[in-house]
Amino acid sequence: MKKACAVKVKGDVQRSAFRRFVRQLAKKHNLFGSVENLDDYDEDVMIICEGEAESLQAFLSRLKNQTPEDREETTATITAIEVEELPFSGKFDNFKIIRGPEEIAERLDEGLVIMSKGFKEQKAGFEKMDENFKVLGDRIDGNFDKMDGNFKSLDTKYGAVSEILTRMNKNLEKIVARI
């Protein structure tokens, strides 16, 4: 069954990449509509969404109970959510963010959230590389120790052969000198 609702989200939800998060969440739940900042001292956001009743319910539940992954996508702090049922219109063909003419700061904030997430992933990648280099370094050090042992063994083994060959050479020189 198709349903629609207006959702007023209160709290510190503007300039926090919250609308971007709402759009992504709505798309995950196959909902259509819009999200926009309300002009009330930078506090509230209005979401209009339509779709299957179960999808709408799952969307609202996720808004109310954000996961740790959700908190990486937005820095918003929600203090209240007011839901009002609306008649289903079917007029939306996607889910869009409605932006005011002076929202360049919001776009920069969204970019910062995205960059921050990328830096976290990069940092984790560098930490893994550091760990791999340490393991590789330990292996190389171990191999150098083995090579040193092998060279010592060769010196010991072939050092005796070298002494024998040197004595044989001197004996041959003596024999040749007598001839």
Catalytic positions, written as ranges? 19, 37
**Number of other residues whose CB lies within 10 A of the CB of residue 34:** 18
Q: How many CA within 13 A on the CB side of residue 20?
A: 19
Rounded to 5 degrees, φ, ψ at 63 are: -60, -40
Q: Which helix (H) or strand (E) holds 46?
A: strand 45-52
Q: What is the 3-state secondary structure (H, E, C) of 48-116?
A: EEEEEHHHHHHHHHHHHCCCHHHHHHCCCEEEEEEEEEECCCCCCCCEEEECCCCCHHHHHHHHHHHHH
